[in-house]
Amino acid sequence: MIRIPIMFRIIFLAGLFAAAPGFGQTPGAGTVKTEPAKPAAGDESNQPAEKDAAQEDEPPVDMGVIAKAVKQSMLRVEYFVKYDDKGNEPRSVGAGYARNLTDYVQEERPLETSGFLLNATELVTPDINIPPRFIDKIRVAYGEITVDATISGYCIEQDAVILTLASPLKGAVPLSFNTKAEKPYFTVSYSETDTNWLVNVKEFGLQYHLKENDAAFRSGPAECLITDRNGVPVGVTMIQEYPDNDSWKGDPLKWNTLSAAELTDKLKKIEVVSDAALVRVKLTFRSAKQKFGNSSNQTELNVYGIIMDSDKLLVLANMEPKLTARLETITAHRRKGGSISATFDKTFKDYGCFLATLSEPVTTHITLSRKNVKDYLNRLLPITQMDIKGEQIETHYGYRRFYGFFFGWKRNVFPSIPGQDSNVFIFDDNGALLAFPLTKRAKPGENSSNDYFSSVSLITAVFDHPEGCFDKANIPRAEEKENRLAWLGVELQEMNNELARFNNVSDRTSNGRSGALVTYVYPGSPADKAGIKIGDILLRLKFEDHPQPVDLTLTRNDDLNFIFPWDRLDIFPDDIFDRNPTPWKSRENTLTRLLSDTGIGKKFELEVFKNGKVVSMNFTIEEGPLTYMAAARYESKELGVTVRDLTYEVRRYFQLDKNDPGVILSKVKPGGKANVAGINRYEIITEVNGKPVRNVEDFKNAIAGQSELNLAVKRMTRGRMVNIKLN
């Protein structure tokens, strides 16, 4: 008999409660004199001091007695898993069973867990929550004897299921509960350690917890049987939270349980609403304008959508403003009821989704739950799981349980669910959508978006208080506006460690990794007005309602600045220019993109290193003048050319005054009339038949109906007259 010092025991017990049971914890060894743990703080309330003293004299407990008393009720449950009919990998979505189930298929052995026999043919077992399509069979073993079993009941509040045996297990003895059995209690778990299945007995103690709202609960071990000193069962628990009373005691068969049929019925209802209102949304986009180094060139996206009102569609697509700008069509494809088109409404500022309005009202939609996710801890909740696979959608119905909560963005409460699926929609007991995957949109300049499994309350909160929750900058735009950019009005050069050192900004630019040198300031631009000069260094930006300052870090593409081979222009085929940058630097760079994505009208503070000092400047984001990419254009099929207006960055490159006439060639069709006449891309037509052309409209009018064109054509320093006869 070993006496464990009191202090040591407290630590031991605390550790026991903290750890999830059943994971190879060393079972308590030997016997100890019955001596309840020195009560933890707050545990005094129902443990009178005199009783404590009285128990000092009770005889010691023999844990072996307990273990032997219940051993015949301890069963091994074996799940044999398989790939489903479509060849999908088996996955478990139960808490704590993270191991890859495919390993069990490969190793040709079952996943094993414990079970407690409740009557001749029923047992309770932790809920591993393997979707039925992945279960080949379930077998229950008592020693060497095994019997097939099926899931007959799904416990609603406990993380457990009830299995029914095909026939009684010979030798196994059901537990017989006595809720009146007296303390002290002991926990008995059944688990595998070193390939031995062990009956583990520990002293039982509960911690007391008082919430902010004065609600109290107790916590203790999970997945165990609780007995008295003689091994008489008092209760079973599969979760760690115990009500602050005796209601946890008793036979698990009395737990709230859905029968298999009841669950199927519940899921049917979810299926009906999901079929009609959880949709695949197909988004199509205008082709991106041809441009060197264009990364965002998607023309189609298939995403999830939720029809949440007779005509409102929530589209779960985290699109950057640049992509949204090209959005053309939205079509909701329902599994039942056909497809409906929708029009864009508005983009959520903080979440990766947008609202659209359906072209015709629907009768079935998904209701957004107004319940608090925290009321559903461990509860069985029906789910729809959707997998978009191309144009097809694979849907499964089942259930999940929240196993905890955490604070996330803006101290919102986010539920934790087992499994890492990003495509699970969880419903509350009324069939209203309670939680779903939602992306927290990255603010401009932030590195990446975070995917959260979120309560729908985040969305309902936006509907309740919509002010400022939608992003006016992230909208579809007309083609001629899709490439409009905000501007500061500077051309920039990438920083490096040598430049940072020379300019004394190593400490402010992470040794030259961030920061940008101003190489040009456009006259009349916001930068010019604020007094930014060539040689100043832009360090970082602080946007309103954006707590993280954004270091200005240019990319390689931002600083393409090469000498264009004007003297060899005539030799290049036109399509070569599609694969190479323009002679002038593109105005779309990290800075203009950042400002454009943040939105016109937003305020920001810019830190500028100027004359050896850091200066803070305040700006309001302004839309810049049209750039080459966004310039008005006109295609003359007859001439085989596309011309664009001369925009400010092109004028700078060619040193043209604001009032100098001209349109620039942005495409010259090989073999076309203009091409034969020796006209090349990036040349400028300044005059048509003796009249200056100031823009593409002028050009269009000037060539209309003419039988002969005399064009004054310029490139850098050279010019010529081009005569073209038209039919």
Which lies closer to another protein via its Cβ, residue 271 or residue 559? 559
706 forms part of the interface with another protein (CB under 8 A): no
User: CA 307, CA 313: separation in Å to the nearest integer?
Assistant: 4
Report the alpha-carbon distance of residue 561 to residue 113 in Å, rounded.
Answer: 65
In this structure, are residues 417 and 426 in contact, taking their beta carbons and an 8 Å threshold? Answer: yes
CA 220, CA 168: separation in Å to the nearest integer? 32
Q: Are 596 and 543 in contact (CB under 8 A)?
A: no
CA distance linking residue 99 with residue 96, whole number of Å? 9
Under rule CB under 8 A, which residues in 456-515 are in contact with another protein? Answer: 491, 493, 496, 498-499, 501-503
Closest CB to another protein among 478 and 571?
A: 571
One residue of 520, 600, 638, 669 binding another protein per CB under 8 A: 520
CA–CA separation, 222 vs 206, rounded Å? 11
Write down the H helix ranges in 278-340. 321-324
Residue type, 37: A
**Does 612 engage in binding with another protein (CB under 8 A)?**
no
- Stretch of 40-48, 128-136, 457-465, 674-682 contacting another protein, by CB under 8 A: 674-682
Q: 460: phi > 0 → left, psi -120 to 50 → alpha, else beta; which? A: alpha
Site residues for another protein, 370-389, by CB under 8 A, read none
Binding residue for another protein, selected from 336, 374, 389, 718, defined by CB under 8 A: 718
Helix (H, G, I), strand (E, B) or coil at 286: coil
Give the single-character DSSP code of 290: P
Taking the least distance from each CB to another protein, the nearer of 548 and 561 is: 561
> In terms of CB distance, is 383 or 684 closer to another protein?
684
d(CA 423, CA 394): 11
Separation of alpha carbons 291 and 562, rounded Å: 17
Beta strand spans in 349-477 (E): 354-358, 381-389, 392-400, 404-407, 413-416, 424-427, 433-440, 450-455, 470-471
Pick the closer one to another protein by CB: 213 or 707. Answer: 707
Per rule CB under 8 A, is residue 562 in the interface with another protein?
A: yes
| In the complex, minimum distance from the CB of residue 565 to another protein, in angstroms, rounded to a whole number | 7
User: Of the listed pieces 87-95, 266-274, 461-469, 555-563, which binds another protein according to CB under 8 A?
Assistant: 555-563
Beta-bridge mates of residue 550: 541
Q: Whole-number minimum distance, CB 613 to another protein, in Å?
A: 18
Choose which of 579, 659, 671, 707 interacts with another protein (CB under 8 A). 579
3 binds another protein (CB under 8 A): no
**Shortest distance, position 641 Cβ to another protein, whole Å:** 15
Q: Does 690 bind another protein (CB under 8 A)?
A: yes
Site map for another protein, 234-273, x if CB under 8 A? Answer: ----------------------------------------
Q: How far is the CB of 707 from another protein (least distance, A)?
A: 12
Q: Which residues pair with 303 in a beta bridge?
A: 281
Nearer to another protein, 281 or 724 (CB): 724
Q: Does 361 bind another protein (CB under 8 A)?
A: no
| Distance from C-alpha of 77 to C-alpha of 67, rounded to nearest angstrom | 19
- Contact between 658 and another protein (CB under 8 A)? no
Out of 3, 86, 568, 613, the residue judged to bind another protein by CB under 8 A: 568
Query: Interface with another protein includes 716 (CB under 8 A)?
Result: yes
In the list 517, 664, 684, 702, the residue contacting another protein (rule: CB under 8 A) is 517
Given a contact cutoff of 8 angstroms between Cβ atoms, the answer to whether 580 and 473 are in contact is: no
The residue (of 187 and 506) whose beta carbon lies closer to another protein is 506
* Residue 687 CB, nearest approach to another protein (Å): 7
Among 196, 448, 723, 727, binds another protein (CB under 8 A): 723
Amino acid found at 161: V
Give exposure, 604-614, as e/b (b: 16+ Cβ within 10 Å): bebbbbbeeee
Which of 421, 687, 695, 700: binder of another protein (CB under 8 A)? 687
CB-nearer residue toward another protein: 449 or 496: 496
Give the C-alpha separation, 273 to 627, whole Å: 48
Our finding on whether 556 is near another protein (CB under 8 A) is yes
Q: Decide: 225 and 160 in contact? Cβ < 8 Å.
A: no
319 by Cβ neighbours in 10 Å (0-12 / 13-18 / 19+) ranks as buried
Through-space distance between the first and last CA atoms of the chain, rounded to whole angstroms: 114
Cα–Cα distance, 642 to 175 (Å, whole number): 86
> Which residue's CB is nearer to another protein, number 96 or number 662?
662
- Minimum distance from CB of 394 to another protein (Å)? 41
Interface mask (CB under 8 A) for another protein, residues 420-459, using x and -?
Answer: ----------------------------------------
> Going residue by residue from 617 to 656, which x/- string records binding to another protein, judged by CB under 8 A?
-----------------------------------xx-x-
- Measuring CA to CA, how many Å separate 278 from each of 265, 339, 367? 19, 12, 11
Q: Is 7 in the site for another protein (CB under 8 A)?
A: no
Residue with tokens 């005399």: 710
Residue 686 is a binding residue for another protein (CB under 8 A): yes
Whether omega for the bond prior to residue 184 falls within 30 degrees of 0, making it cis, is yes
Give whichever of 428 and 494 is closer to another protein, judged by the CB atom. Answer: 494
In contact, 385 and 402? CB cutoff 8 Å: no
Task: Give bridge partners of residue 487 from the DSSP assignment.
Answer: 622
Q: Give min distance, CB of 556 to another protein, in A.
A: 6
Residue length of the chain:
727
Nearer to another protein, 468 or 565 (CB): 565
Select 292 or 406, whichever has its Cβ closest to another protein: 292
> Which of 381/537 has CB closer to another protein?
537
Residue 65 interacts with another protein (CB under 8 A): yes or no: no
Out of 571, 613, 657, 671, the residue judged to bind another protein by CB under 8 A: 571
| Residue 717 engages another protein in binding (rule: CB under 8 A) | yes
Q: Rounded to whole angstroms, how far apart are CA atoms 469 and 351? A: 9
List, in order, residues 6 or more apart from 417 with CB less than 8 Å away: 93, 400, 401, 402, 403, 424, 426, 435, 453
Binding site for another protein (CB under 8 A): 491, 493, 496, 498-499, 501-503, 517, 519-520, 534-535, 556, 559-568, 571-572, 576, 579-581, 583-585, 652-653, 655, 673, 676-678, 686-687, 690, 710, 712, 714, 716-725
